[in-house]
A and B are shown apart, each in its own frame.
Chain A
Amino acid sequence: MCPEEKKLIADFQGGDGGAFDKIFEMYRERAYRAAYAWTRNRDDALDIVQEAFIKLYKVLGRWKPRASVYTWLYRVIINLSIDRGRKKTRRREVRTGDIVPEERDERLISRDIGGFESVAREETRTFIRRAVSSLPPKQRAALILKYFEGLTIAEIAVIQGCSQGAIKANLFHAVNKLRIILKKNGTTDYAD
């Protein structure tokens, strides 16, 4: 835990409500990035971030000095993302044939409206999103935390509550599966 975080937690525990807002500002973007990478939907990601910080607020009064806020937040965000995904899948199963639309990338569309290239790229994006979604949760979580958050294997192991060897194996399998899926689709040029 960094000294700044330590001080903010102590301030919060001492009754300074403003300290929580500072913690929120410190971690909201990282939290959002991880939630978005999982859900691929801005509203869902923001809901997850909100819920995670509500949970944080509730436990912060009894925070333990050896735990880092962001480690705990990632853990909660991954769990909330998995839960939300399950609920969505269940809802989709109930309403047969109803497909939740993927969020479109407005940046791309505004750059190249109606162009053939943008359509092809959009298809690639959708395909990659689906490929990542098809990974088992532990592999998917390891990949997001490593690739998007740049966390170390040791940090991911703490977040996921497993050994570093297991994280390495999860990453290895995740990347290999994605390689194979993308290669089959012709999304990547390289094969081995």
Chain B
Amino acid sequence: MRCSKFRKAVLPLAMETGDERELALRLERTDVKLRSHLDSCEECRSYLRSCRETLAGLSVLEADQPGERKWSEVRDAIHEAVRQKAPVYGVAWPSLSRVSWARAGAIAAVALIISAVSFVYFRPGPLDESLPRALRVAGAPGGEEADLAFLDELEVTDREYDELISEIDELMREIDTAYAQLDIGTGEVSLDKGRFENIPT
């Protein structure tokens, strides 16, 4: 048999053995044909040594683990991020005490969009065809891969939801800015005062 046929079998030997002793033990248990080829072929023995040395060189990519304090910081940051990104609550709602009727209408419309999106993405109950594909893959046959595919799509759906919330958030800010500009010099329609005067024309 030609050397190239053995090369693919040599790689696992190089990858899965540590020191020379471990390699010797592994060789004892390995396929007879491969063993006898390695005994007789200097090129393949050299290839094995070369692979082992290449892989040993990779140890430079190993890192010291962070200390416990750093890990606590990371954990706290995760908790903080999860709190901040909780759906709907992430939107900065303006104070209702200074809300104009038109602004209240805009907020109500945005709230309606958020509710509709939340309902579509997160509603509980049986899975059906109207749900995103991710939510339908659940329970499909195919073992771990199907479940992982489901989780991947769930993650993508979740990310898209976050992006949508950010866009709505941005829209809210724009509405706020527009109304803030409108208030300057023109007077505003304030719920507090219960008056409907100085409406800009």
Contact = CB atoms under 8 A, between A and B. Distances in A.
Tell whether A and B belong to one assembly. Answer: yes
B190 to A, nearest CB: 40
Contacts of B180: none
Given A54-B78, A105-B60, A66 B147 contact: yes
Interface string B37-63: 000000100110111011101101111
Given A59-B151, A147-B55, A49 B74 contact: yes
A59 B154 contact: yes
A30 B65 CA distance: 10
Contacts of B65: 29, 32-33
A25 B68 CA distance: 10
Nearest to A122: B60
B126 interface: no
B75 interface: yes
Given A45-B63, A72-B151, A158-B148, A132 B58 contact: yes
A182 B43 CA distance: 18
Q: Interface range on chain A: under 10, 10 to 19, 20 to 34, or 35 or more? A: 35 or more
A132 B61 contact: yes
Nearest to B153: A59
Interface string A122-147: 00110011001000000000011011
Interface stretch (B24-32, B93-101, B103-111, B137-145): B137-145
Contacts of A63: 151
B147 A32 contact: no
Contacts of B14: 175
Contact of B144 (A37, A45, A158): A158
Interface in A148-192: 148, 158, 161, 168, 171-172, 175, 178-179, 182-183, 187-192
B8 interface: yes
A147 B43 contact: no
Interface string A42-62: 100110011001110111001
A136 B42 CA distance: 31
Nearest to B146: A66
A175 B55 contact: yes
A71 B147 CA distance: 11
A3 B60 CA distance: 34
A188 B53 contact: yes
A24 interface: yes
A169 to B, nearest CB: 9
A129 B61 contact: yes
B151 A28 contact: no
B183 interface: no
Contacts of B151: 59, 62-64, 67, 72
Contacts of A49: 74
Among A59, A128, A187, A191, chain B packs the most CB atoms within 10 A around the CB of: A59
20 contacts: A21-B75, A32-B65, A32-B66, A40-B61, A46-B66, A58-B155, A62-B154, A66-B143, A66-B144, A68-B144, A71-B148, A105-B60, A158-B148, A172-B7, A172-B8, A175-B54, A182-B57, A190-B46, A190-B53, A192-B50
Interface of B: 7-8, 11, 14-15, 43, 46-47, 49-51, 53-55, 57-58, 60-66, 70-71, 74-75, 77-78, 81-82, 85, 138, 143-152, 154-155, 158
Given A76-B155, A124-B57, A175-B15, 6 more contacts: A54-B85, A63-B151, A64-B147, A143-B58, A183-B50, A188-B50
